[in-house]
Amino acid sequence: MTSPRSFPAGFVWGAATAAYQIEGAVSEDGRGPSIWDTFSHTPGKTVHGDTGDVACDHYHRVRSDVALMSELGLPSYRFSIAWPRVLPTGGGPVNQPGLDFYSQLVDMLLEHDIEPLATLYHWDLPQPLQDAGGWTVRDTALRFAEYAELVGRALGDRIPTLTTLNEPWCSAYLGHATGVHAPGGTDAAAAYAAVHHLNLAHGLAASALRTVLPGGARISLTLNLVQARPASSSAEDVDATRHVDGISNRIFLDPVFHGSYPADVLDDLGDVTDFGFVQDGDLAAISAPLDVLGVNYYSPRVIAAPSDDNLASGQPFPATSRAVALPQPGPYTAMGWPIDPAGLTELLVRLSRDLPDVPLMITENGAAFEDAVSADGAVHDDDRIAYLRGHLGATLDAIAQGADVRGYYAWSLMDNFEWAEGYAKRFGLVRVDYDTQQRIVKDSARWYSRVIAANALSG
């Protein structure tokens, strides 16, 4: 047994969820349809045709779910606000019962001394905005800023950190290039238009929020950056890795933190798009000051230049024909994602080197495994404990190397609707029985509670 490794004083601990993945109640109290309602109800788009219609029924069980968080000793909870619950058509008059739901959630959290961290967009775009072009058109960014301001005015006095977007990489590329996420598009040029309008939405919303939030409130953006490693030291693989870093990471980081798109990315994409959607003033808007960068990490990618051989074994990288993601050695999670905590250390250290003044927050990290309920009624998910332990250790390694990491949110508080994978993949610290909606606290949740209480990882 080695001695415990402590986290810095004031380190924020929490667990995360997202509205469409847990709430259900999709037609209640005036909520409008989102692109995920449409997509999940389209045959063939999700495993078993699963939808978020009921999900974890959190909308009706919010009080007991918050009590459970308190029982687990969670100091913070990251959730998302469903835009179509607040503004059913994306704009126009506010749907007061929808806004009230989140206001009550925030009050319940505060009553239990749980700090709320709210994300304004975790992929549930109101369907009427999609019908008008969705993220491929500029107007969606303007509507998002209005929605952000409205939520900021209503709830901003009680939510210390508001995040604009969760993982715009997924919204843009999985939603518009590979088509595995809503709205299901398969056009790389459209994906890059979506990237820009998501960046613009973030920047406009950040400025709008700043005007209505109390001083001291924090504004953040959460990115799922790709920790890309070259498959070999060949010039071709190294260049393919640079390209992937450009279209996955720097295409979001550079406009936000430096007010420009990377020149190599613009060059690389010359045959896909001319970036004509960027208008005067956009980059100044996108680079509005930010207080925290949220980092979601699951596993790294090994990147190679395409060749006949690796195209057969690997996967073309989303939104480009210039790179292939190669299979990696295990162990793997139930998603087939390699377990590689060192990738998290590398990513955090790289960010702290490139953005030395930007505090980092791990807003998602966790794993799906084939959990089972044992004869004793418990879920002994030792594999999840090992995953969390490895990644918390990796976080400490990054902090030891100078990374300014302020906190960690496990994904996810409870099993939930895993998008195209439906309910087949379980990421929760708490098991959800989808027939009865019973919650079972897994061993990993108990273990995580002890880590939080000690603010340290035992040896």
Q: Which residues are designated catalytic?
A: 167, 364
Give the integer Cα–Cα distance in Å for 100 and 261. Answer: 39
Q: Which residue is at the shortest CB distance from ligand IFM? A: 18
Q: Which is nearer to ligand IFM, 74 or 410 (CB)?
A: 410
Q: Provide the residue count of the chain.
A: 459
Q: Phi, psi at residue 116, to the nearest 5°?
A: -80, 140
Nearer to ligand IFM by Cβ, of 35 and 269: the residue is 35
* Site of tokens 């994300």: 119
Nearest distance in Å: CB 293, ligand IFM: 16
User: Quick one: tokens of 383?
Assistant: 């594999």
Binding to ligand IFM (CB under 6 A) within 372-431 occurs at 411, 418, 427
Cβ-in-10-Å burial (0-12, 13-18, 19+) of 73 comes to: middle
252 in contact with ligand IFM (CB under 6 A):
no
Minimum Å distance from CB 279 to ligand IFM? 30
The DSSP code sequence of 32-95 is: PPBHHHHHHTSTTSSGGG--SSSTT-HHHHHHHHHHHHHHTT-SEEEEE--HHHHSTTSSSS--
| Rounded least distance, CB 296 to ligand IFM, Å | 5
d(CA 342, CA 359): 20
Shortest Cβ distance from residue 418 to ligand IFM (Å)?
Answer: 5
Identify residues 356-375 at the interface with ligand IFM (CB under 6 A).
364
State how far the Cα of 416 lies from the Cα of 21, in Å rounded to an integer: 5
Choose which of 12, 13, 15, 18 interacts with ligand IFM (CB under 6 A): 18
Name residues contacting ligand IFM, limited to 101-120 (CB under 6 A): none
Lookup: tokens for 188 = 């790389």
Compute the Cα dihedral for 24, 28, 31, 35 and give only its sign.
positive
Site for ligand IFM in 292-311 (CB under 6 A): 296
CB of 419 to ligand IFM, least distance (A): 6
Q: Which is nearer to ligand IFM, 124 or 237 (CB)?
A: 124
**Residue number, 90 or 168, with CB nearest to ligand IFM:** 168
Q: What are the distances in angstroms from CA 416 to CA 19, 55, 112, 291, 299?
A: 10, 6, 23, 30, 20
DSSP assignment, residue 137?
S
Cα 226 to the center of its chain, rounded Å: 13
Residue 185 to residue 134: CA distance in whole angstroms: 11
- Number of Cβ within 10 Å of residue 259's Cβ equals 15
Q: How far is the CB of 21 from ligand IFM (least distance, A)?
A: 6
Tell me whether residue 18 or residue 286 sits nearer to ligand IFM (CB atom). Answer: 18
Window 155-194: residues binding ligand IFM (CB under 6 A)? 167
Q: Which CB, 95 or 416, lies closer to ligand IFM?
A: 416
How many residues bind to ligand IFM according to rule CB under 6 A?
A: 8
Structural Rg of the chain based on CA atoms: 21
State the nearest-atom distance from the C-beta of 6 to ligand IFM, in Å: 28
For residue 360, give the 3-state DSSP assignment. Answer: strand
The residue (of 427 and 447) whose beta carbon lies closer to ligand IFM is 427
Residues within the interface to ligand IFM (CB under 6 A):
18, 21, 167, 296, 364, 411, 418, 427
